[in-house]
């Protein structure tokens, strides 16, 4: 068993708020991320797949194929977009890094043909990132 990772970047904006909260509670809960007109991040996403090495290719899967898949399914849909308004799969979800990572997982998991999705790491900044491994509590 071996683990391989593809790292990629995209830029997107969001605003964190809960429509059920008052303006005051939203400001108190989400701080700067509640800015009414949103704000942007340079996100970094690391996708790790685990699997066995094919004796014929010496690879788990071709990283070029993985890159194309991630670009098609995720990056093209979120890069230079607003998570609250432009991204269909984020409708009705507060676009925190946590929730974004879970949605990305749901999209990618069934589409990895060789090996299986092991971990998504989503950096919202150099210092803040979330890790998701598909575990439900
Ligand atoms: Ni933010």
Q: What is the pLDDT of residues 84-111, one digit of tens each?
A: 999 999 999 999 999 999 999 999 999 9
CA distance 6 to 57: 18
Map out the domains of the chain as residue ranges.
2-132
Per residue in 28-40, pLDDT (tens digit) is 999 999 999 999 9
**Is the pLDDT reported for residue 137 higher than 80?**
no
Confidence (pTM): 0.95
pLDDT at 66: 95
Of the chain, the end-to-end C-alpha distance in Å amounts to: 25
- Beta carbons of 72 and 107 less than 8 angstroms apart: no
Q: Which residue has the tokens 């788990």?
A: 60
Distance (angstroms) between ligand 1 centre and the Cα of 114 equals 34
Superfamily of domain 2-132: 6-pyruvoyl tetrahydropterin synthase/QueD (3.30.479.10)
Q: What is the CA radius of gyration of the chain?
A: 17
Residues involved in catalysis: 33, 80, 124
Per residue in 45-86, pLDDT (tens digit) is 999 999 999 999 999 999 999 999 999 999 999 999 999 999
Among 111, 125, 127, which residue's Cα sits nearest to residue 47?
A: 111
């Amino acid at each position: 068993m071996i683990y391989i990772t593809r790292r990629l970047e995209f830029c997107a904006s969001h605003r964190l708020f809960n429509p059920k909260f008052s303006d005051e509670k939203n400001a108190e809960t989400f701080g700067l991320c509640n800015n009414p007109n949103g704000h942007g991040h340079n996100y970094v996403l690391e996708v790790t797949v685990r699997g066995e090495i094919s004796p014929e290719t010496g690879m788990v899967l071709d990283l070029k194929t993985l890159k194309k898949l991630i670009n098609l399914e995720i990056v093209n849909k979120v890069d230079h977009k607003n998570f609250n308004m432009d991204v269909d799969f984020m409708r009705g979800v507060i676009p925190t890094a946590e929730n974004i990572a879970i949605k990305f997982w749901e999209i990618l998991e069934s589409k990895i043909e060789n090996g299986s999705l092991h971990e998504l790491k989503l950096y919202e900044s150099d210092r803040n990132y979330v890790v998701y491994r598909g575990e439900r509590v």
